[in-house]
């Protein structure tokens, strides 16, 4: 079936929509979807201006595309020459990126494209070129470029009866709008255009182009009066297009659809009867305004569309998304059209306008921002989940007795805007809910950290339905944009509440009754997404955790009116469902169920974001177990405050630790002085046991590894003795006043404010303070070390041993048995199965990155880094160890850490295979015996050759190899 509607805009265009999946039609969508093979060729500019992040981002996305598609598409690269031998597979298999250098010659790439099309003309396959450039030709008016363009166009003009050839264009940086749009029209079918001002956007643009190229189908539509239109489709469900100005379809009863395989289908044509918001939005989405007046006309029409009227929930979500996309696009058009009025229009503005005209086509492909990627995922989930059917099923299952109970609540719960009560709302629609209106402030951080990015400004007394709220917010937003303000998460546009001074820009559902709660549960992702991101598809499970903080803020601002007490009770029931039933809360990566359990067990909480302690406080409150969490939360509060107050490794913190361990009046022990020559290895000398000791040493240098060489340890005076008894007054002096968030909940629950102090265990408090001051502040223990903290019963002795060892231990390695010990340590280093163990050995025995052990390990790794090591699954390779030394960093399970604190890191290195092979030849030819390594902005390998064989002398000669950038010299 094909239906049409006339848009009430000045140009009087008609929107026609053809349902390909219509059961009454004869079009075979299954057969149509099985398209013939497609040849996609990426043409990538590798001139010098692409070096660094641009070429890196392009290579990453092309590798990702190959991994997803597993299709070996061709890759043409060009600067002043063209290489046509690469493919996405060969790029994916390489460890390094494409090298960007030289100038730009479009003549060479156009000639290569022409030659390829001629050589593969017999393949009879559609061909799509994704053409990317970041600059202009070295000779933009040169004869070579003009000739190559003419030859390519001439060849393409002879291929009009062949499968379609398309050029999609991606522009980046300083490019020419007119020239790139010309390339887009080279093919037998016009291509699309994307433009980036930042290199990170190149990945999104390549993904967009590939998704479109893989799924797009082009249709030709013929009317009985002879007029012909073309339309593209990527969902294989509907084909929509706009007719020319003034077309009259009233006398036509059918149209002919011809797909890209020349299959012809007749469709009956009639005026659209059931015109819904989704149809109007599909039509507006196709309009490309030519000036600012047309933009205003589209915005006015858009403002009159009610997107909440659809009974189909999936359609309603789609309508909301398209509405938002059109709204944002029109604002961008207005900004660009305003800039076009300038005397000299920047080329960037022209490029952005050209790209914006193609933006609607990419609306259903990958989004450009992190929030949009989340939205894309959620939209896909909502489409696959029959939410409408679930909600309708709940509504149909409500018994007459239950409806009667709901009717009895109608006087209490009424929508301020529509005047519909809870009974009418639930009867009328299966997906509308009653909410409490609030006024909040959002910032961009709300996307990644919803608990921190949203702040409650005011709680209102307004009860409002979700549909009334969305319609009111859209109207408020549109009124604001008419005045020329662009909408972001920071905007405070709002609707009026029930009272004169009330503003509402967010809502939270109220429990009210069990059947209403079922709706809230099913729609949870929708209302949470809008609450935090102003997008009904912006849901993330961290929002479920953040809702607990918002509920705390509502309690904090509560008044003692009976109405607000009643609403807090209903909100409390909703939040209790979140923590008891919601999988989002139970599996949230940050601050969900697992973090709460860690807090109760007093395990260190290591997160990239600070833990807002009002969240666990609310969990305890909602579980009717507040008193059990008060003391652990207070301990965590002390930890947070002292971490903020004291600098790492400070003398003041060390004094606090010493006072906690030895008491404020420390007693001295008698002096002991001696020498301890330790044995080389303990009896428990299994390789895994040895390596584990060096892993522990790498994470905490106060942890002594297995000794591989004899050590001379000179002991000084052991100064203090552990004070087992608690000095109560000193510990109490370290306590902090109760914070307001704890006082608020104590007041709400009518608990004595002295409750925490009365229930403190001071032995446990000393343990908590030692963990905080010694491990987290003074020692600055990394996240790996926090996994093995001492227990309360032995923490004093462990910290005592470490504090005293700082004064008593001066270690000197004994190399009297030099050859044997060098080989032993080198063997352990080279055979470590983990980088952490390897790094621990190197840090322990080669702290200055020179000497016999370092030289032996480094030379052996260089000699054999590229040799096959057989089955090394789960074991680090020699090459990985060598690269770790050169980069001065390893990746652990929790973070990237340095091996040597006194040497710079190389976060990324180009391929060093050639340089390392050259270094290996030099070491072998010169018989180098000593190696040193340093990086102070330049990565240098120092080589020392002791024996000058040609002169029969032992004069030393030094060489430097600069590995990044590479060159060698002697000094």
List pLDDT tens digits, range 702-754: 677 888 877 655 454 556 788 888 888 999 999 999 999 999 999 999 999 99
Note every long-range contact of 343-352, with CB atoms under 8 Å and residues 24 or more positions apart, other chains counting.
347/174, 347/175, 347/176, 347/177, 348/197, 350/177, 350/178, 351/171, 351/175, 351/177, 351/180, 351/195, 352/195
Identify the CA nearest to 959 among candidates 946, 969, 950.
969
Neighbouring C-beta atoms of residue 223, cutoff 10 Å: 17
Among 543, 566, 589, the domain boundary falls at 566
pLDDT of residue 379: 61
Evaluate whether 285 touches 322 at the Cβ level (below 8 Å): yes
Residue 649 domain flag: no
Gap between the Cα atoms of 633 and 639, Å rounded:
10
Q: Decide which of 457 and 953 is more confident.
A: 457
Percent of the chain with pLDDT over 70: 82
* Of 3-12, 15-24, 707-716, the least confident: 707-716
Span 100-114, mean pLDDT? 93
pLDDT digits (tens, 9 = 90+) for 779-802: 766 555 566 778 888 888 888 887
* Of 237-251, 318-332, 669-683, 874-888, the least confident: 669-683
- The residue range of the domain holding 76 is 36-218
pLDDT of residue 699: 80
Calculate ∠ Cα 582-544-310, nearest 5°.
85
Structure tokens at 756: 């925490």
Same domain, 853 and 961: yes
Structure tokens at 352: 């952005």
Residue 239 domain flag: yes
* Of 209-223, 451-465, 699-713, 922-936, the least confident: 699-713
Span 391-398, mean pLDDT? 88
pLDDT digits (tens, 9 = 90+) for 905-955: 776 666 677 778 888 888 888 788 888 888 766 777 778 765 554 445 555
pLDDT of residue 718: 55
Identify the CA nearest to 452 among candidates 369, 550, 305.
550
Sign of CA dihedral 539, 545, 546, 548: positive
Same domain, 513 and 401: yes
Same domain, 213 and 359: no
> How many domains are there within the chain?
4
Residue 657 domain flag: no
- Burial string for 130-148 (b: 16+ CB within 10 Å, else e) reads bbbbbbebbeeeeebbeeb
Does the structure show a pLDDT above 70 at 337? Answer: yes
Query: What's the order of all strands across the beta sheet hosting 506-509?
Result: 454-465, 434-442, 506-509
Neighbouring C-beta atoms of residue 400, cutoff 10 Å: 6
Instruction: Determine whether 871 is exposed, middle or buried from the number of CB atoms within 10 Å of its CB (0-12, 13-18, 19+).
Output: exposed
With cut-offs at 50, 70 and 90, classify the pLDDT of residue 483.
very low
Gap between the Cα atoms of 717 and 594, Å rounded:
46
With cut-offs at 50, 70 and 90, classify the pLDDT of residue 512.
very high
pTM above 0.95, yes or no: no
> Which runs of consecutive H residues, i.e. helices, occur in 304-415?
313-340, 347-356, 370-384, 387-397, 400-407
Residue 795 domain flag: no
Identify the CA nearest to 403 among candidates 425, 381, 376.
425
Same domain, 337 and 203: no
Which CA distances in Å does 96 have to 61, 92, 913? 14, 9, 11
Residue 93 domain flag: yes
Evaluate whether 681 touches 797 at the Cβ level (below 8 Å): no
Evaluate whether 838 touches 832 at the Cβ level (below 8 Å): yes
Among 522, 542, 566, the domain boundary falls at 566
Q: How far apart are the first and last CA of the chain?
A: 84
Same domain, 98 and 17: no
Span 648-657, mean pLDDT? 85
* Of 621-625, 711-715, 775-779, the least confident: 711-715
DSSP tag of 850: -
Task: For the chain, give the mean pLDDT.
Answer: 81
Same domain, 826 and 939: yes
pLDDT digits (tens, 9 = 90+) for 883-916: 889 888 888 766 778 888 878 777 666 667 777 8
Span 653-676, mean pLDDT? 66
Same domain, 394 and 528: yes
Does the structure show a pLDDT above 90 at 864? Answer: no
Span 102-106, mean pLDDT? 91
pLDDT of residue 848: 86
pLDDT of residue 456: 93
With cut-offs at 50, 70 and 90, classify the pLDDT of residue 606.
low
Same domain, 304 and 289: yes
Q: Spell out the SS3 assignment of 565-602.
A: HHHHHHHHHHHHHHHHHCHHHHHCCCCCHHHHHHHHHC
Same domain, 159 and 292: no
Which CA distances in Å does 128 have to 81, 105, 186? 21, 21, 11
With cut-offs at 50, 70 and 90, classify the pLDDT of residue 674.
very low
pLDDT digits (tens, 9 = 90+) for 147-205: 999 999 999 988 888 889 999 999 888 788 888 989 999 999 889 888 887 777 888 88
Does the structure show a pLDDT above 60 at 485? Answer: no
Does the structure show a pLDDT above 50 at 675? Answer: no
pLDDT of residue 559: 83
Residue 597 domain flag: no
Q: Decide which of 50 and 236 is more confident.
A: 50
With cut-offs at 50, 70 and 90, classify the pLDDT of residue 814.
low
Q: Which H helix or E strand runs over 718? A: none
Same domain, 910 and 923: yes
Residue 587 domain flag: no
Distance of CA 730 to the CA centre of its chain: 46
Gap between the Cα atoms of 504 and 799, Å rounded:
55
With cut-offs at 50, 70 and 90, classify the pLDDT of residue 381.
low
Q: Spell out the SS3 assignment of 131-194.
A: EEECCCCCCCCCHHHHHHHHHHHHHHHCCCCCCCEEEEEEEECCCCHHHHHHHHCCCCECCCEE
Same domain, 881 and 916: yes
Residue 883 domain flag: yes
Same domain, 146 and 238: no
- Residue 709: cis peptide before it, omega within 30 degrees of 0: no
pLDDT of residue 547: 93
Indicate which CATH number applies to the domain containing 103. 3.40.50.410
Gap between the Cα atoms of 599 and 871, Å rounded:
42
Gap between the Cα atoms of 393 and 397, Å rounded:
6
Evaluate whether 691 touches 833 at the Cβ level (below 8 Å): yes
Among 339, 374, 409, the domain boundary falls at 374
């Amino acid at each position: 079936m094909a239906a049409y509607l006339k848009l009430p805009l000045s140009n009087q265009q008609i929107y026609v929509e053809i349902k390909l999946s219509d059961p009454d039609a004869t079009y075979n969508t299954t057969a149509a979807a099985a398209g013939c093979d497609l040849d996609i060729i990426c043409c990538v500019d590798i001139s010098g201006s692409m070096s660094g992040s641009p070429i890196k981002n392009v290579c990453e996305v092309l590798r990702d595309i190959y991994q997803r598609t597993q299709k070996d598409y061709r890759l043409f690269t060009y600067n002043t020459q063209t290489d046509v031998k690469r493919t996405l597979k060969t790029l994916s298999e390489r460890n390094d990126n494409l090298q960007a250098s030289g100038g730009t010659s479009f003549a060479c790439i156009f000639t290569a494209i022409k030659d390829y099309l001629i050589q593969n003309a017999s393949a009879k396959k559609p061909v799509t070129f994704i053409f990317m450039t970041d600059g202009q030709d070295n000779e933009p008016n040169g004869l070579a470029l003009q000739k190559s363009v003419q030859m390519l166009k001439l060849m393409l003009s002879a291929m009009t009866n062949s499968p379609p050839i398309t050029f999609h264009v991606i522009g980046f940086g300083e490019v020419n709008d007119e020239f790139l749009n010309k390339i887009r029209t080279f093919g037998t079918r016009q291509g699309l255009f994307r433009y980036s001002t930042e290199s990170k956007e190149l990945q999104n643009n390549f993904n967009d182009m590939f998704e479109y190229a893989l799924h797009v189908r082009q249709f030709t539509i013929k009317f009985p009066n002879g007029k012909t239109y073309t339309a593209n489709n990527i969902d294989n469900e509907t084909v929509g297009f706009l007719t020319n100005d003034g077309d009259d379809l009233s006398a036509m009863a059918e149209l002919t659809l011809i797909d890209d395989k020349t299959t012809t289908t007749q469709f009956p044509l009639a005026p659209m009867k059931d015109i819904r918001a989704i149809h109007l939005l599909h039509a507006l989405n196709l309009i490309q305004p030519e000036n600012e007046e047309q933009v205003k006309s589209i915005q006015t029409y858009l403002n009159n569309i009610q997107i909440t009227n659809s009974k189909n929930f999936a359609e309603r979500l789609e309508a909301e998304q398209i509405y938002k996309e059109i709204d944002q696009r029109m604002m961008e058009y207005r900004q660009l059209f305003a800039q076009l009025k300038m005397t000299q229009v920047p080329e960037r503005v022209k490029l952005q306008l050209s790209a914006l005209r193609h933006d609607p086509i990419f609306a259903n492909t990958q989004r450009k921002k992190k929030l949009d990627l989340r939205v894309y995922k959620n939209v896909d989930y909502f489409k696959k989940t029959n939410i409408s059917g679930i909600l309708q099923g709940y509504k149909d299952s409500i018994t007459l007795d239950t409806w009667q109970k709901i009717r009895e609540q109608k006087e209490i719960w009424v929508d301020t805007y529509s005047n519909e009560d809870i009974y009418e709302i639930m009867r009328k629609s299966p997906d509308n809910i009653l909410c409490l209106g609030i006024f909040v402030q959002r910032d961009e951080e709300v996307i990644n950290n919803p608990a921190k990015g949203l702040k409650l400004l005011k709680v209102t007394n307004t009860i409002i339905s979700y549909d009334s709220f969305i319609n009111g917010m859209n109207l408020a937003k549109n009124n604001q944009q008419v005045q020329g303000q662009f909408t972001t998460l920071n905007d405070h546009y709002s609707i009026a509440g029930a009272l004169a001074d009330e503003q509402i820009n967010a809502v939270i559902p109220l429990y009210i009754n069990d059947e209403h709660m079922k709706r809230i549960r099913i729609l949870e992702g929708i209302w949470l997404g809008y609450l935090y991101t102003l997008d009904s598809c912006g849901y993330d499970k961290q929002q479920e955790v953040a809702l607990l903080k918002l509920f705390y803020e509502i309690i904090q601002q509560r008044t003692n009116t009976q109405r607000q007490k009643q609403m807090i009770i209903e909100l409390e029931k909703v939040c209790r469902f979140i923590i008891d039933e919601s999988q989002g809360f139970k599996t949230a990566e940050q601050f969900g169920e697992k973090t709460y359990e860690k807090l109760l067990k007093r395990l260190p909480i290591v997160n990239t974001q600070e833990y807002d302690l009002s969240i666990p406080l609310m969990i305890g409150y909602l579980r009717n177990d507040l008193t059990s969490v008060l003391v652990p939360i207070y301990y965590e509060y002390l930890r947070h405050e002292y971490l903020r107050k004291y600098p790492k490794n400070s003398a003041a913190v060390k004094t606090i630790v010493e006072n906690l361990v030895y008491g404020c009046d420390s007693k001295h022990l008698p002096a002991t002085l001696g020498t301890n020559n330790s044995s080389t290895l303990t009896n428990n000398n299994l390789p895994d046991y040895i390596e584990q000791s060096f892993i522990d040493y790498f994470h905490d240098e106060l942890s002594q590894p297995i000794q591989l060489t004899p050590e001379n340890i000179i002991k000084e005076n052991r100064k203090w003795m552990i004070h087992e008894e608690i000095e109560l007054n000193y510990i109490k002096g370290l306590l902090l006043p109760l914070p307001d968030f704890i006082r608020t909940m104590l007041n709400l629950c009518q608990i004595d404010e002295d409750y925490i102090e009365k229930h403190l265990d001071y032995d446990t408090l000393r343990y908590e303070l030692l963990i905080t001051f010694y491990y987290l502040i003074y020692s600055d223990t990394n996240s790996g070390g926090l996994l093995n903290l001492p227990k309360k019963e032995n923490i004093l002795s462990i910290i005592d041993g470490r504090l005293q060892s700082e004064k008593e231990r001066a270690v000197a390695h004994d190399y009297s048995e030099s050859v044997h010990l060098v080989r032993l340590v080198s063997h352990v280093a080279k055979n470590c199965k983990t980088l952490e163990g390897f790094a621990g050995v190197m840090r322990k025995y080669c702290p200055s990155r020179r000497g016999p052990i370092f030289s032996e390990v480094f030379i052996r790794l260089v000699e054999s880094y590229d040799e096959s090591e057989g089955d090394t699954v789960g074991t680090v390779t020699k090459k990985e160890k060598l690269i770790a030394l050169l980069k001065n960093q390893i990746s652990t399970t929790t973070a990237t850490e340095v091996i040597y604190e006194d040497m710079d890191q190389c976060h990324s290195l180009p391929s060093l295979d050639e340089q390392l092979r050259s270094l290996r030849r030099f070491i072998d030819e010169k018989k180098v015996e000593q190696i040193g390594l340093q990086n102070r902005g330049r990565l240098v390998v120092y080589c020392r050759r002791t024996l000058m064989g040609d002169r029969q002398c032992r004069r030393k000669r030094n060489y430097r190899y600069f590995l990044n950038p590479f060159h060698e010299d002697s000094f």
